[in-house]
Amino acid sequence: MTITAFLQKMRSRSLYDRGRLLGRWYWRVKTNLFYRCFFARMGRNCLIENPMTLNRPERIYLGDDVTVQPGVRLEVVRSNPQRNARIEIGSNVNIEQGVHMLCQNFIKIGDRVSICAYSCVVDIDHPYAAVDDPRRIGDRHSDDGATVVIGENSFIGFGATILPGAQIGKHVVVGARSVVSGVIPDYSVAVGAPARVVRRYDFSSQSWKRATQ
């Protein structure tokens, strides 16, 4: 948006909306002049707005038109120096407020994915079996190389949890507060904890049908 177009838009809005537009403009400028310097890759027209935590952004790759809303945590941890830990986020992806994404191996988010507010996407477990380990359980990290993949055009509902090893196909809807740890096939709807597939798209009838158990 040009400065002239921005000023015209401001004149047509209420005082409250002007404040919101100015705030958003500030974060867009900061995204391009500041955050862009630290990410491994950042495509065109990205917006990172008031994040809570960005840890090791040099290991995070963003496509075009990625929106990261307030309070998001994007974290890559180096629990094993031998691994090329990274987060790859495709184009036209919306990550809503309060989402926590924690990676020690590999998290891949496809194009046109929506991740709703307060969801969690992690590829790390915290082992608890060793009762004589003096470290806090929260400081222990599994070393099994688990990854997470969310396919293109999928929708992760409010407060969902995507656990290590989750492989979510394309055009999948994960219901609110669902917990995914396994494989969810393409063109399906999964709900519950643990999540199970309840609907699949049938291409022969071009309709969504209840999944058979």
User: pLDDT of 137-149, one tens digit each?
Assistant: 888 888 788 899 9
| Mean pLDDT, residues 169-186 | 97
| Mean pLDDT, residues 50-78 | 96
**Within a 13 Å sphere around the CA of 65, how many CA atoms are in the beta-carbon half?**
8
Residues 68 and 107 in one domain: yes
CA separation for the pair 37, 164 (Å, rounded): 30
Residues 178 and 75 in one domain: yes
| Mean pLDDT, residues 15-32 | 84
* For residue 154, pLDDT beyond 70: yes
Task: Determine how many CB atoms are found less than 10 A away from the CB of residue 149.
Answer: 19
Instruction: Report the amino acid identity of residue 105.
Output: N
Residues 118 and 195 in one domain: yes
Residues 178 and 73 in one domain: yes
21-25, 170-174, 207-211: segment of lowest average pLDDT: 21-25
* Chain mean pLDDT for the chain: 92
Percent pLDDT > 90 in the chain is 75
DSSP string of 108-169?
Answer: EE-TT-EE-TT-EEE--------TT--S-GGG----S--EEEE-TT-EE-TT-EE-TT-EE-
Residues 114 and 198 in one domain: yes
What CATH number does the domain containing 104 carry?
A: 2.160.10.10
Residues 188 and 107 in one domain: yes
* For residue 213, pLDDT beyond 60: no
Question: Which token pair is 182?
Answer: 């396994």
Reported as a single tens digit per residue, the pLDDT across 37-47 is 999 999 999 99
Residues 146 and 178 in one domain: yes
**Structural domain that includes position 10:** 1-33
pLDDT of residue 208: 95
Q: Is 14:36 a contact under the CB 8 Å cutoff? A: no
Residues 88 and 130 in one domain: yes
User: Is 196 strand, coil or helix?
Assistant: strand
**Catalytic annotation, pick one of 100, 126, 141, 171:** 126
* For residue 48, pLDDT beyond 90: yes
Residues 80 and 6 in one domain: no
Residues 25 and 75 in one domain: no
pLDDT of residue 127: 85
Residues 109 and 171 in one domain: yes
Reported as a single tens digit per residue, the pLDDT across 68-120 is 999 999 999 987 777 889 999 999 999 999 999 999 999 999 999 999 999 99
pLDDT of residue 12: 74
SS (H, E, C) 22-46: HHHHHHHHHHHHCHHHCCCEECCCC
* For residue 207, pLDDT beyond 90: yes
CA separation for the pair 201, 94 (Å, rounded): 24
Percent pLDDT > 70 in the chain is 95
**Within a 13 Å sphere around the CA of 112, how many CA atoms are in the beta-carbon half?**
8
| Mean pLDDT, residues 178-188 | 97
Question: Is 126 labeled as catalytic in the residue annotation?
Answer: yes
Q: For 193, left (φ over 0), alpha (ψ -120 to 50), or beta?
A: beta
For the entire predicted model, the pTM comes to 0.89
Question: Which token pair is 191?
Answer: 């709900």
Q: How many domains does the chain have?
A: 2
Residues 4 and 48 in one domain: no
